[in-house]
Amino acid sequence: MGDGYNKVFGKEDSVVIFSRPFLVPEINQIVTHCNNLATAKVSQTVNLLQQRTPVLLSGDKTTSLTRDNFIQKILKGIPFIKVDSKFRENIGIDVADLRVNPQYNEISTYIQRELAEALAELGIECSGVEKPERLVSTETSYNNGEIEMTRKSLLYTRERAVEAINRKWGLNISVTFNSEMITPINRPDAFEPGAGNPQEGSESNQPQDEEVEE
């Protein structure tokens, strides 16, 4: 382009590689989940700030400076504040109970589930529970079917594009799912025949009959 060369290629000279079978980009789902996560984080911060107990300081205009100084000492967390003996006579102190229930843990659980749902839609394994070590393997891998379906769908569109490329230009290109993580649905032998079955000569998990001498 810098030396004035310009050539236009049409559909006969190119192959379109779609990201998803329904031709909808992932960015739409990502933006939706990001908005939900951002709203949840803001709600969590607001709920945490609402747990603070507001202090009401009442008085006339002559005590305005004294009340401002008192407020600054409270914000600094000073445990002992020296005041005049007539302080309570001139300035009234009261506490405002907002009656806001703490929802920090509930919002944290929602954030984890929202994130797990977003990753599952992108074909990434993620457990949506807070402490998966307390669950059995079947409970932590409850969404493996959804993840596998997403991965195969995304891989299928790329395989179709590669087949078209090979036919058009006589190449021999192939595409596979690329991951170095060993996970329950990403093991090299995960989809091989007989995977997960006890090997010959190994102990089975089924209870064995025992001979009892009478």
pLDDT tens per residue, range 113-139: 999 889 888 888 776 555 555 555 555
What is the per-residue pLDDT for 202? 45
Highest average pLDDT, of 11-20, 77-86, 155-164, 200-209, comes from 155-164
Alpha-carbon separation of residue 34 from 4, 42, 102, 103, 106 (angstroms): 43, 12, 24, 20, 18
Q: Tell me the pLDDT band of 163, cut-offs 50, 70 and 90.
A: very high
Q: Does 137 fall in a domain?
A: no
Q: Tell me the pLDDT band of 188, cut-offs 50, 70 and 90.
A: low
Lowest mean pLDDT among 87-96, 160-169, 192-201: 192-201
What is the per-residue pLDDT for 96? 83
CA distance 30 to 140: 23
What is the per-residue pLDDT for 133? 55
Per-residue pLDDT at 56 exceeds 80: yes
Q: Does 88 fall in a domain?
A: yes
Q: Does 78 fall in a domain?
A: yes
3 state SS of 140: helix
Q: Tell me the pLDDT band of 102, cut-offs 50, 70 and 90.
A: very high
Q: Does 163 fall in a domain?
A: no
Q: Does 79 fall in a domain?
A: yes
Q: Tell me the pLDDT band of 103, cut-offs 50, 70 and 90.
A: very high
Closest CA to 59 of 98, 95, 97, 88: 88
Q: Does 129 fall in a domain?
A: no
Q: What residue numbers bound the domain in which 82 lies?
A: 53-99
pLDDT tens, 24-44?
A: 888 888 999 999 999 999 999
Alpha carbons within 13 angstroms on the beta-carbon side of residue 15 total 15
Q: What percent of the chain has pLDDT over 90?
A: 23
Beta bridge partner(s), residue 183: none
Q: For residues 164-189, give the mean pLDDT.
A: 79
Q: Does 86 fall in a domain?
A: yes
Domain count, the chain: 1
Q: Does 60 fall in a domain?
A: yes
What is the per-residue pLDDT for 90? 86
Closest CA to 160 of 39, 18, 50, 13: 18
pTM reported for the whole predicted model:
0.61
* Average model confidence (pLDDT) across the chain: 79
What is the per-residue pLDDT for 161? 92
CA distance 89 to 93: 10
Query: Higher model confidence: residue 161 or residue 20?
Result: 161
pLDDT tens, 196-214?
A: 454 444 444 444 454 545 4
What is the per-residue pLDDT for 82? 86
CA distance 43 to 54: 19
